[in-house]
Amino acid sequence: MASLVCATCRKLIPMGQSAVRCTVASCNTGRMKLRFCSVTCWEKHVPTARHRKASYVVEDDSPA
């Protein structure tokens, strides 16, 4: 399992910590699966990615 790194601040998102995911499709296709350690980091991502309409989901890293 690859560990997640915040796409904004490059901080490691440890397993078990909930990660914030951008819901814009282009951020979730192929290898571009962006994750953020906090909503604050996601908010910084939005203007750099030029999203017109952006929202996020908080992923709970609990076993399915």
Q: Which residues of this chain interact with Zn ion, rule CB under 5 A?
A: 6, 8-9, 11, 22, 24, 27, 37, 41, 49
In the complex, what is the shortest distance from the CB of residue 32 to Zn ion, in angstroms, rounded to a whole number? 9
Please state the closest distance from residue 52 (CB atom) to Zn ion, in A.
11
Q: In the complex with Zn ion, which residue's Cβ is closer, 4 or 6?
A: 6
Q: Identify the CA nearest to 24 among candidates 2, 5, 48, 6.
A: 48
| Of residues 4 and 22, the one with the C-beta less far from Zn ion | 22
The three-state secondary structure class of 15 is coil
What residues contact 31, with CB distance under 8 A and at least 6 apart?
Answer: none
Nearer to Zn ion, 17 or 60 (CB): 17
The pair of structure tokens assigned to 1 is 């399992």
